[in-house]
Structure 1
Amino acid sequence: MSAKTISPTDRPIDVEVVPENSALVPVVTPSVSQIAIAPEHKPELRYEPIALAAYYKRRPLQVLRRIFTILTPTLSFAFGLWLDSKRGVVVKNDQRRAVQLRQLLTRLGPAYIKIGQALSTRPDLVPPVYLEELTRLQDQLPAFPNEIAYQFIEEELGALPEDIYSELSPQPIAAASLGQVYKGKLKSTGEEVAVKVQRPDLREGITIDLYILRRLAGWAQRNFKRVRSDLVGILDELGDRIFEEMDYIHEGQNAERFFQLYGNMKDVYVPNIYWEYTNRRVLTMEWINGTKLTNTAELSAQGINARYLIEVGVQCSLRQLLEHGFFHADPHPGNLLATTDGKLAYLDFGMMSEIKPPQRYGLIEAIVHVVNRDFEGLAKDYVKLDFLSPETDLTPIIPAFARVFADAEGASVADLNIKSITDELSALMYEYPFRVPPYYALIIRSLVTLEGIAIYIDPNFKVLSEAYPYVSKRLLTDPAPQLRASLQDLLFKEGTFRWNRLENLLKNARNNQDYDLNVVLNQGLEFLSSDRGAFIRDRVVDEIVKGVDALGRNALHNFTYLLRERVGLTAINETPSASIEQQQTLEHIKRIFNILQETRGFDAKQLVPQLAQLVVNPGVQRLGQQVSSLLVQKAIARLIREFLAPEEVVVNPSQRKLPA
């Protein structure tokens, strides 16, 4: 279904600009009539913790009432933990207490549900057994009355619901911590839509809880030495994210940005936003008729290949995480649907995050170090990625990394399971002084969730195996200095070129749907001919010369044999034996050429124009001259040895012949 929408680029959105020092004044009274805020008094879009603190310091009774509401069930839970410790049954009761914590957070409301979800990806703060249980925390709450939802629609959109929608479902089809969703039909066009309406009292409830928790985090940080992470910073990051989720204009803009970056991918679908029917607390989005990927029986009945759609999801996630950096942080089964025409539709763009280029390149560098089993390099990557402070002693951490990836011994890293690696890394991060950056926590949430869906569909599905072709393609085609350095680390060991690694890279890269052989050849030659590629160039030239030299030895021997025979010199027609190293190099070159020939899109005729452009490149010409010069030197030396100074030369007068 293609819907006609008005995007922010078609008409300006009335979004106020918030001054840096503006105060956030939440709505205090809970009645519906007072929640309807006049335009000039709308709450700010940004989370401002300083202004928030100033606001609630003037309202101590309101804060105390909320603290009392929180403390009653929390102290009961804490007392249970204390009893376990006194009785020596902490380990025995860990699982039961983790379940109780999940239930407690659900009862305390939206802010605590969001905090629990955030903690489920914080192995530096939470023991592994609690991490596992918090991943089951469901973002579901009872629905609020339709009358309130209808009033919000009227207040936000300036018209009665029946004037905008010819139909609205009698009850919400879903109710979460921040809002609930109705299925509707636009009166103007008859198109089916999803109408998302925010909960009442949400901003007030969220802000007071964030204020209380921020003060508690500051106290814990000052008084507990074991706390290594910046708890206040983590709370502020969470506050920013929740405030973004509470602004449905921001969510709509996220959806449009997601479409611009990934909507052109094959079989990826992003629903349209109806901007004329969207505001801060109401979002109208195209309705997607689809099936959850986990409903394999229904998908099979429709003739839809669920495994293929998971592969599409993995490729889209890789683009999100490692290419553009803007990613969907909550790809749970309800947010990924198979459309009736067999595409993968993404829903719910409230929880998005972004990875900056240095972090994206750092993740790829870390992957290369894992493949190389360079755990010292991996530990340094974690310092660069802000998991460890620069002054951290890496000595005990390096062997700990080796233990985490010990299961990969004798097997490909691509065959490992993300969840198992994450679990082991979580235990490691809880034991050593790691601090998990917020972006990484959301990456893990995204990948583990996606892998969970994939394994449900196909227990043998390996996300890392599906991801490796993309990583190989990036290493071969991305001109970024960081990735060129990673490619060098991958291909060379102690100055020796590892042909098998290049073969594996080319084999894996050709399986990626966006792989372009012309780009690889073009950028590869340009890089080798540049100053940045000097280290690799000198060694690659040596390897090429070895291979071509070995290939030419037979031809040269045959030529000199015929020539000596012609002039009457005794010639022994035995093929000269190349060294083992030369034979191996020659075999690698042959295999690589075969891989290139078998690669999708390989066409010698189409490569001619590319090569014609490259040969006039001064750097490429210098590279060619370097190779040809070394080959000529070797050929002349061999010609002299073979023809003028053979090991055994016997003159046989009866065989001497005059030149013809």
Structure 2
Amino acid sequence: MLQKLPDLPTFYEAFCDTALGGAHPPGLVFVVLPLLSVAISAAFTPIEYPKESPYGPSNVYDPSLAKKFYAKMPLLVLHRLVQLAFSGAPLGASLFIDKYITKKLEDEPTKLERAKTLLTFVENNGCTYIKIGQALSVREDIIDAAYAKELSKLQDSVPPFDSSIAKSILASEVGTISSKFTKISDSPVASASIGQVYKATTTDGREVAVKVQRPNVVNVIALDLHIVRTFAPIYQKIAKATTDLQALSDEWGRGFIAELNYENEAANTIEFKNQMASKGLTAVTSPTVVDSLSTSRVLTTEWVEGTRLDRSTEGDVTTLCAVALNAYLVMLLETGTLHCDPHPGNLLRTTDGKLCILDWGMTLKVQPDLQLSLLEFISHLTSEKYDEIPTDFVKLDFLKAEKEEFVRASGFLEPLTYMLKQAGQGGGGKKVRERIIGEFKEKYPGLDDEELRVAIQAEMKEYAEKAKQKTVVVGGISAKVSELQAQNKDAFSIPEWFLYTSRAFLTLEGICLQSDEDFSIITSCFPYVAKRLLSDDSDRARVALKNMIYGASSVAIDETTVVEMLNGFESFERTSKSSRDDDEATVALAREGADLLLGENDNVLKEIVTDVSADAITASLKKAFAGLPFTPTESKERFLKLTESEEKAASLLATLSSRANGKGVHGEGTSPSISPKVLTELTSLLRDYGGGGVSLASKLTKKVVEKNKKNIEDGLGAGKEGGGGGSFALEKGLKNVLGQVEGVL
């Protein structure tokens, strides 16, 4: 905004001297000065918005209604355009000079300066542009990364409006203030683009936060959305963007206008709280809504005492970040309602050690098919089945189906795959960079730093060098996705769910890396994924779980993954509970495990447990028979040699036995003590799930019989092919016995 305006005669003289080479055409003053006077006056005169909603009585976003509405008010639209033109003039003039005069449009220092000017423009032009700026801060496929980074600094806060007006609105919505509240703050404790918050005490003694919507804010947003939508196709053509910017502005519009209905926000807040409770995530919550004091323009919730998670000095911040990750994963992969404003100010550590997520005005619905596609993608990453990733990207709406084969042939997803591999090892951007350089030093021994840098650039097609500049893993992955979209616009796109999810994870990862430089966000996501897959009995989830457990071989179980999944399952159950009582957490974990393994419903976990246990038992039987002094050598070779799956199952069983006895992999440690409380509860569990235990034992017995019968059949078959001697009467007899047992079972 201009701080001081020159008088018009002086401006006219300067204009003629600079623009007209000193000529002073007398007629020009009668044209230029009046128009300029009107424009300047309009630029600095507040707009008087109409009281009638552009979207009609329903107040639901409808661009066609807004177009008809503003067609009758051209001067109103022109007034706002003049304001935007004056406010944006410094940025526009600078960009013009950068491109056509100094030729520094792509210069990084210049970009940083222009990005700051853009941030100022956004902050000066009200709630719509603040929200658009926030949305663009994660869209490097639309704007330059330097501008996106600067816009990420936006906070949804603007100067408050008059409290007398706010309290008048409050009284008109809920009734006389003195009849509802014994005390209310004179000024707002927080002010955002859409409303402002007061701290109050209700007549029944509850401390509450009262959010009051700005007056006539729907018209303020509607006019700006109409202008943005009108000029979006023009900008798209100039910028040669492949994204449908008008459609994108409509998507933003639907979200912005829906956010104005505080009844929707109240419903979202309540829904999240109930969903987390039903899923057992008692360590995460949302504010309690006071329905009797809430309307479409006023939202009242119980006051939450706490500290922003990123500013908390408590020792459980990393744990609460894991809780937040679990909550966002539950939203994304299970409940299907995703919180869309996960900036640090909306993540609160309460005084009793819980995580409270604030501001539920904007949410995104995630379809079940997408949820399963994400689980499949994660399982393919974990099992290193990277050939499946292009197909996953089609299912996840990143990649157009007709471009899948082209992508496979071109290999342009390889750098992203490499980044995902590195990200799984944790440590943020710094540690990722160190690992990348370490790998190349091993690959190219003897190279000095400069030669190594050249080798990295050549092999990674300059991607590794760019990755070194990323501050966090999620940022690196997000940037790589944006880079792929920019380089392959006809094949690659960025779906909306990814934008909000990556933003949430980027925020949480940044907080965690402050206290733990080795933090791995992918590893931290694993506990919930393990829990989700272990408890989902859909066909696609079964395949995804088997991919993770059996790995790339698809035959023998991956012991490391199984142990990690069990650790993850335990971690999820413990961190998602608000109780600090270890006994209660242990009982809850045991009950959850018993329900999965011994409950009435069949699931893939039971199938895998019986299969692996049967392999382990078979391995033990083979070892026992092979150790007998009278067992023939040929029988040992043909019937008692362990298969790969049996060897790994036996190893896994030994590892799990060591864990159960409180020992490490080398046998150190002592048996854990069980408190009387836990023992009582476990005894109760055995009674509750006794029938399930019998059923599982029956399935295991049947599986052991099947495996041993097949082993004998395979051994006898090998004897025929190899022409070996011996009648193997014992084995044949055992085969017949097993056949009879199998018939009974």
TM-score by length of 2: 0.70
Match of 1:153 in 2: 170
Q: Which residue of 2 aligns with 1:129?
A: 146
Pair 147,558 (structure 1): closer, same or farther in 2 beyond 3 Å: closer
Aligned equivalents of 2:189 and 2:266: distance in 1? 20
Q: Deviations over 1:518-538 (max 9, x none)?
A: 3443589945699xx8xx99x
Q: Is the 8 A contact 2:383 2:551 kept in 1?
A: no
Segments of structure 1 that go 5 or more residues without pairing to the other structure are 1-28, 565-569, 647-660
Number of the residue aligned with 1:418: 474
1:26-175 to 2 correspondences below 5 Å: 43-86=57-100, 87-89=102-104, 90-92=106-108, 93-159=110-176, 161-175=177-191
2:558 match: 499
Q: 1:104 to 1:613 in 2, by over 3 A?
A: same
Contact 2:262 2:298 survives alignment (8 Å): yes
Alpha-carbon distance in 1 for matches of 2:501, 2:396: 13
User: Residues 367 and 583 (structure 1 numbering): CA distance in 2 closer, same or farther, change over 3 Å?
Assistant: closer
* 1:152 Cα offset (Å): 0.7
Deviates more, 1:400-409 or 1:383-392: 400-409
SS of match in other structure, 1:256: helix
Report the equivalent of 2:710: 630
Gaps of 5+ in 2: 1-45, 429-472, 575-588, 663-671, 720-724, 732-745
One-letter code aligned to 2:493: R
Equivalences for residues 358-507 of structure 1 within 5 A: 358-392=369-403, 395-396=406-407, 399-407=411-419, 412-413=424-425, 417-433=473-489, 434-490=492-548, 491-493=550-552, 495-500=554-559, 501-507=561-567
Structure 1 position 325, deviation (Å): 1.8
Question: In the aligned structure 2, how far is the partner of 1:645 from the partner of 1:268?
Answer: 61
Counterpart Cα distance in 2 of 1:103 and 1:410 = 37
1:590 to 643, 651, 654: 654
1:182 counterpart SS class = strand
- Any conservation in 2 of the 1:476–1:487 contact (CA below 8 Å)? yes
- The residue that corresponds to 1:23 in the other structure is none
User: Does residue 280 of the first structure (1) align with residue 296 of the second (2)?
Assistant: yes
Offset from partner CA, 1:172-231 (integer Å, 9 cap, x none): 111111111111111x2121111111112311110011111111123445x358322222
Structure 2 counterpart of 1:324, from 318, 332, 335? 335
- 3-state SS in 2 of match to 1:185: strand
Counterpart residue identity of residue 125, structure 1: I
Residues 1:148 and 1:256: Cα distance change in structure 2 (over 3 Å)? same
The Cα shift of 1:116 comes to 0.8
For residues 260-339 of structure 1, the aligned pairs below 5 Å read 260-263=274-277, 265-297=281-313, 300=314, 305-339=316-350
Asked whether the equivalents of residues 475 and 483 of structure 1 are also in contact (C-alpha less than 8 Å), the reply is yes
In 1, the alpha carbon distance for the partners of 2:185 and 2:538 equals 51
2:597 matched residue in structure 1 = 521
Q: What percent identity do the matched residue pairs reach? A: 27
- For structure 1, which segment, 629-638 or 330-339, has the greater mean C-alpha deviation from structure 2 after superposition? 629-638
Task: Specify the alignment match of 1:658 in structure 2.
Answer: none
Is the Cα contact below 8 Å between 2:614 and 2:704 reproduced in 1?
Answer: no
Q: Does 1:241 align with 2:255?
A: yes
The 1:225/1:177 distance shift into structure 2, 3 A limit, reads: closer
Q: 1:200 and 2:215 equivalent?
A: yes
Equivalent position amino acid for 1:499 in 2: D
Within the candidate set 625, 649, 652, 1:556 is matched to 625
Maintained 8 Å contact 2:618/2:707 = no
- Residues in 1 aligned to 2:364 and 2:222: alpha-carbon distance in whole angstroms: 21
- Report if the CA contact (8 A) 1:261-1:324 is conserved: yes
> Is contact 1:366-1:378 (8 Å) kept?
yes
Q: 1:153 to 1:550 in 2, by over 3 A?
A: closer
For 1:218 and 1:110, locate their aligned partners in 2 and report how far apart those are by CA, in whole Å: 22
Q: Which fold has the larger relative contact order, with Cα–Cα distance below 8 Å and residues 6 or more apart in sequence? A: 1
In the aligned structure 2, how far is the partner of 1:67 from the partner of 1:306? 46
Distance 1:156 1:362 in 2: 45
Alignment map for 1:573-584 (pairs within 5 Å): 578=641, 581=644, 583-584=647-648
Between stretches 415-424 and 391-400, larger displacement belongs to 391-400
Number of equivalenced pairs: 591
Give the letter aligned to residue 201 of structure 2.
K
How far the C-alpha of 1:389 sits from its partner, in A, is 2.1
Kindly report the root-mean-square deviation, in angstroms, between the aligned alpha carbons of the 2 structures: 4.0
Contact 1:267-1:343 at 8 Å conserved across structures: yes
Distance 1:460 1:550 in 2: 39
Check conservation: 1:375, 1:402, Cα contact below 8 A: no
Mapped to 1, the partners of 2:597 and 2:477 lie a distance apart of 35
One-letter identity of the residue aligned with 2:217: L
Asked if the contact 1:338–1:344 (Cα under 8 Å) also holds between the matched residues in 2, the reply is: yes
Q: Map Cα deviations across residues 472-501 of structure 1 (whole Å, 9 max, x no partner).
A: 222222112222222233325355334234
SS in 2 for 1:345: strand
Deviations 1:559-582 (A, max 9, x none): 5618x9xxxxx9999999946846
Q: Please tell me whether the aligned partners of residues 639 and 712 of structure 2 are also in contact (alpha carbons under 8 angstroms).
A: no
Moved more, 577-586 or 234-243: 577-586
Q: Distance in 2 between matches of 1:370 and 1:445?
A: 21
| Equivalent pair of 1:195/1:283 in contact (CA under 8 Å) | yes
Counterpart code for 1:423: A
